[in-house]
Structures are given as structure tokens and as C-alpha cells.
Amino acid sequence: MSPQTAHPCTAALASFLSAKHAVLFPVALLLAACGENGGKPAGNTPTIATTVTARVTDAALLARGAQIYKANCALCHGANAEGAPNWHKPGPDGKYPAPPLNGTGHDWHHPMSALKWTIREGTGKLGGNMPAWKGKLSDSDIEAVIAWFQSRWPEEIYQNWALMDEKARR
């Protein structure tokens, strides 16, 4: 019997899974892509549980995030993170009002590092009206508030974000 070489997709998947971030990623996508051009029977691809995400579900942490949000962010971003009215149109000062953080704006286009940066530093230096929170909120406060607003995102939005965030960290 001749030795079998690993299917390239299997190899890619194996190295992907051995990396530090095995569970964040919708593995189904990778398998589906491989299934198409590999041309091998489906039995050749390993069976792996799909789409295990690391969304925060810890109720105490989310409750803390909600408190922090209400006390510091709701004024501009809306009680339910729905954003200011007309958030997509610049105000009289030419600056954009606070966008939604509930997954209906562009919050989910930014990787975790950018979300944290925006909250810590604000956008004053970039010509925007988002205040800086460093010195007022700790890193763990910021993580809690992000966890809270991410808990409001529809599942599909969160999945897309997790995929993009994953790529941004490589």
C-alpha cells in the first residue's frame, strides 16, 4: 500500500486547530471551502463540531457591563445601544453622532483591539466626538461593557465579527 499524503485541506485544518484559537471560528466555512475544490468524497474531511463561539455568557459580568454602559454610555449611544437619532448623518458641527453599539451600526466592523482603543482613547484626536475613557474606566470595565453590547448583537453578526477579529489577530 502506498503511503497516503494528507489532503491539503486536512493539513490546513489541522494546523489551524492546533493554534491557540481553535474554538472561535466557524470551522464549517473552512470545511465547505475545502469540500468544493478538493474534489474528494466528503468522508475525507474530518468531522468537527461547527461554530463554537466565545461570546461572553457570564451573567454577573454582563450585569456589570450593563451598569457601566448605563452610567457612562447610554446618554449618547442610547438606552439600548440603538445609537443617537440620525447617527449616520453628520451633525451641525460636521461630526457624526454616537452610532449604535447593538450590531446594527458599524461597531462589528472593528476588531476587539480597535473597539478597546476607541473606548480608551476616544476619537477627539481623529476629529470625532467620542470621549476618552482611560483613567475613568479600567481595562476590565471596558471589557465588561464590550461584552455587554456584544451580547446584544444578533448571532450572525457576532459570528462575522469573530471571524474578522480572528484574522485581525494573526
27 Cβ contact list (under 8 Å, min separation 6): 13, 17, 48, 49, 50, 51
C-beta of 111 vs 131, nearer to ligand HEC: 131
Residue from the set 44, 53, 72, 104 that interacts with ligand HEC by CB under 6 A: 72
CA 115 to chain centre: 9
The maximal CA–CA distance of the chain, rounded, in angstroms, is 76
CA 128 to chain centre: 22
C-beta of 21 vs 110, nearer to ligand HEC: 110
Query: x-or-dash pattern for ligand HEC, window 78-107, by CB under 6 A?
Result: ------------------xxxx-x---xxx
CA 116 to chain centre: 11
72 Cβ contact list (under 8 Å, min separation 6): 133, 136, 137, 145
Asked if 13 and 31 touch (Cβ cutoff 8 Å), the reply is yes
Q: Any idea how long the chain is?
A: 170
Q: Verify binding: residue 35, ligand HEC, rule CB under 6 A.
A: no
C-beta of 46 vs 128, nearer to ligand HEC: 128
Q: Verify binding: residue 160, ligand HEC, rule CB under 6 A.
A: no
Question: Applying CB under 6 A, what is the total number of residues that bind ligand HEC?
Answer: 26
118 Cβ contact list (under 8 Å, min separation 6): 110, 130
Residue from the set 9, 31, 66, 115 that interacts with ligand HEC by CB under 6 A: 115
Q: Verify binding: residue 118, ligand HEC, rule CB under 6 A.
A: yes
The distance of closest approach from Cβ of residue 57 to ligand HEC in the complex, given in angstroms and rounded to an integer, is: 19
Residue ranges binding ligand HEC (CB under 6 A): 72-73, 75-77, 96-99, 101, 105-107, 110, 115, 118-119, 123, 126, 128-131, 133, 137, 145
